[in-house]
Amino acid sequence: MAIFKGAGVAITTPFKENKEVDYDLFTKQIETQIAGGTDAIIVCGTTGEASTLTHEEHLDVIRHCVKVVNKRIPVVAGTGSNCTETAVYLSQEAQKAGADGLLVVTPYYNKATQKGLYEHFKIVAESVDIPIILYNIPGRTGGVNILPETVVRLCTEVENIVGVKDATGNISQVAKLMSLANGKVDLYSGNDDQILPLLSLGGIGVISVLSNVAPRQTHELCAKFFAGDVEESRKIQLDAIPLIDALFCEVNPIPVKKALELQGADRGILRRPLTEMEEEHAAVLKQAMKDFGIL
């Protein structure tokens, strides 16, 4: 059974002025997402600035999210690393914290062959008892790409590896993956501008940046498609494109934190090396939010 179906939010991690995690604000963000119809919360991913958190902070953020959500919707914890042993440690601790599933990114910097990727994910998966979604995002991992054959092999041979978040942007590769999948791969879009195309290829949802600021609309985009209302789903997807473009005009999560700040839901504070959004880009983002009806 899939960990979730529909729109999962790749939730941001809010910080105080002194750059410590703001757990009070984080609680409010979680409640806003649940009230907005979000189908799952993905914590400590790219959008959550996990790469700037210490291991202790990383796990504390996961624990806090699990506690606040309290089983109302699934919580998927990002626990990937370029070090297999670190990924095992984070994954085991996230399971102890009560996460419903894990999102494990391809190893970055040191890279790996397809054999190395297979062994890495298999070792991590065998260290826990909860389901795992592979995270394929070559643009963040030095070009490391889990090939369709490797994804299918992992989902077929390793019981608790259940799917993939595909952020390759390569529709042809996704089509090949799903042609080989034989119903064994839960496919989630990792790009907000490709939610509907991936759903049409057999995807079951999205792990979304957009959902941070538009949870209801992102949920409805998926729900309408599943209900057979493809035209309305398409309309939401296309109407959202200018906003999605604005949310990715600088490196994620700089724009989405600015968007949350504009909505009064975050202070917009980032940890270095991320910096404040350029004023001209912020102006475009603000207008796109107004046009989409979320500001």
Which of 135, 188, 257, 258 is catalytic? The answer is 135
Our answer to whether residue 108 is catalytic in this structure is: no
Which of 5, 108, 118, 165 is catalytic? The answer is 165
Pairing of strands 101-105, 205-208: unpaired
Our answer to whether residue 135 is catalytic in this structure is: yes
CA pair distance 148, 166, nearest whole angstrom? 11
CA pair distance 242, 11, nearest whole angstrom? 21
**CB neighbourhood size of 114 (10 A):** 14
Quick one: which of 294, 293, 291 has its CA closest to 259?
294
Long-range contacts, 241-244 (Cβ 8 Å, 24+): 241/193, 242/288, 242/291, 242/292, 243/210, 243/214, 243/285, 243/288, 243/289, 243/291, 243/292, 243/294, 244/192, 244/193, 244/210
Two tokens, residue 110: 């040191």
User: Which residues are CB-neighbours of 224 under 8 A, at least 6 positions away?
Assistant: 230, 232, 233, 236
Residue count of the chain: 295
The H or E element spanning position 113 is none
Assess whether the previous peptide bond of 74 is cis (omega < 30° from 0). no
CA pair distance 150, 118, nearest whole angstrom? 7
Question: Would you tell me the crossing angle of helices 279-292 and 254-262 to the nearest 10 degrees?
Answer: 60
Catalytic positions, written as ranges: 135, 165
